[in-house]
Amino acid sequence: MADTLTVTDNRTGKSYELPIQDGTIKAMDLRQIKTGPDDFGLMTYDPAFMNTANCRSRITYIDGDKGILLYRGYPIEQLAEHSDYLETAYLILYGELPTDGQLQSWRREITLHTMLHENVKKFMDGFQYDAHPMGILLSTVGALSTVNRDAKNIFDKTTRMRQILRLIAKVPSIAAYAYRHSIGRPYNNPDNDLSFTGNFLNMLFKMTELKYKPHPVLERALDVLFILHADHEQNCSTTTMRTIGSSQADPYSAFAGAAAALYGPLHGGANEAVLRMLTEIGSLNHVPDFIAKVKSGEAGSRLMGFGHRVYKSYDPRAKQIKKIADMVFEVTGKNPLLDIALELERIALQDDYFVKRKLYPNVDFYSGLIYQAMGFPTEMFPVLFAIPRTVGWMAQWEEMLLDPDQKIARPRQIYLGSEARDYVARDQRK
């Protein structure tokens, strides 16, 4: 059986044999299909990249029909059970689980980069007291390119790795500072005795105590949430990271773009939108009315935290998150909105509208409930997504940079505007 595709162009009667590799044909192979010498050649039309592979990647694998998610081949369930965020981050970046020695030096290096330059704190001070922390995060990280001027040197391996370490280590510090700024409290310096996640909690919540002690259950729960959010192949924000990176911009500028993409309510902003939705529903007896509103498509309303471009079965991350919710609620007490969420899920999973469209809870459906129970304000939710996704963006960015197949990202269009016409003087316009 030949690995080729034979295409007959019925406009000309000509046939073409196109190679098939890894279940794809090259879009550029279609260009030879022309009706005549002046024809540009055939293109594909694929808004939102519904069926276009943009790269070859070795980082994350998703089988959306079976609900499988692997980082570098390791199932997400096993990593959530046995690993921690920094070990998983190492795996995502380097492709293999670290040895003991490698892990120790990796932790040390990240820890050494957690402090922020005093100037960075100054420009963060300039934000309005009620600025959204995601807006603060993405602009501040973008501004780091002015502080780390060596970041432009993207093809030097050592320099590149230095920026990656800085980003993984400093994003939590910026996130925590953004939060403290919004509540008018002084910044907490990083505590390098604590774990990556423990220190993040310290920078957020430490008050007058001499040493902050994170609650071990909450620390572990947040760490597992970080594992679950570390990468997710070619989603909207990762594609943005790769696209900006393809112009050879520095990683801080590209990160700012990726974080902006994540901010939207159809992507990482969905966890914030879920909480607002649950609060608006307010009580169990309003759930059927809300479902009816979603089904009627009234004012574009959607069941936030449901549905996914790739998963057409239960999101494996959502399954893990439900387990973490139990763990957290034992410590914090149950989030009163949980019952509404469970009822929404129960109804949606048996309602024809959702079943037919294969709409299941995604990663964002339950995560907000946990964050809220842990004391995070709703506006911090997308920020809590961006922190662990930093390593995914970095790994994908580096893979793109080193891939000889990649060039500056530049799609084509189908032009539907006016034909060429002459400029009309202002006094002759109708």
Give the count of beta carbons closer than 10 Å to the beta carbon of residue 251.
29
Between 77 and 351, whose beta carbon lies closer to ligand ACO? 351
End-to-end Cα, the chain, rounded Å: 63
Catalytic site includes residue 267: yes
Interacting residue with ligand ACO among 364, 379, 398, 399 (CB under 6 A):
364
Please give the Cα distance from 374 to 334 (Å, whole number).
Answer: 11
Contact mark string toward ligand ACO, 313..352, x via CB under 6 A: ----------------------------------------
Q: Examine residue 362 and tell whether it contacts ligand ACO (CB under 6 A).
A: yes
Chain positions 29 to 88 lying near ligand ACO, rule: CB under 6 A, are none
∠ CA 273-279-283, rounded to 5° = 135
Interface segment toward ligand ACO; rule CB under 6 A; list 134-142, 167-175, 211-219, 262-270:
262-270
Between 190 and 268, whose beta carbon lies closer to ligand ACO? 268
Catalytic site includes residue 232: no
Q: Residue 118 CA to chain centroid, in angstroms?
A: 29
Structure tokens at 205: 């919540």
Shortest Å distance, C-beta 142 to ligand ACO: 21
Question: Does residue 133 contact residue 180 with C-beta atoms inside 8 Å?
Answer: no
Q: Examine residue 175 and tell whether it contacts ligand ACO (CB under 6 A).
A: no
Structure tokens at 93: 């970046």
Shortest Å distance, C-beta 294 to ligand ACO: 5
Q: Examine residue 215 and tell whether it contacts ligand ACO (CB under 6 A).
A: no
The residue of the chain with the least Cβ separation from ligand ACO equals 307
CA-wise closest residue to 72 among 406, 309, 313, 396 = 396
According to DSSP, the residues that pair with 19 across neighbouring strands are 4
Between 166 and 232, whose beta carbon lies closer to ligand ACO? 232
Structure tokens at 72: 């570098």
∠ CA 141-159-258, rounded to 5° = 30
Please give the Cα distance from 68 to 76 (Å, whole number).
Answer: 8
Between 124 and 175, whose beta carbon lies closer to ligand ACO? 175
Chain positions 267 to 306 lying near ligand ACO, rule: CB under 6 A, are 267-268, 270, 294, 302-306
Contact mark string toward ligand ACO, 219..248, x via CB under 6 A: ----------------x-------------
Shortest Å distance, C-beta 193 to ligand ACO: 33
Between 152 and 267, whose beta carbon lies closer to ligand ACO? 267
Interacting residue with ligand ACO among 357, 375, 411, 412 (CB under 6 A):
357
Residues 6 or more apart whose CB falls under 8 angstroms from that of 69 comprise 60, 61, 62, 75, 76, 232, 316, 317
Shortest Å distance, C-beta 236 to ligand ACO: 7
Residues 6 or more apart whose CB falls under 8 angstroms from that of 99 comprise none
Question: Does residue 370 contact residue 318 with C-beta atoms inside 8 Å?
Answer: no
Strand order in the sheet with 74-75: 60-63, 68-71, 74-75
Sites of contact with ligand ACO (CB under 6 A) = 235, 266-268, 270, 294, 302-309, 357, 359, 362-364
| Active site amino acids | 267, 308, 364
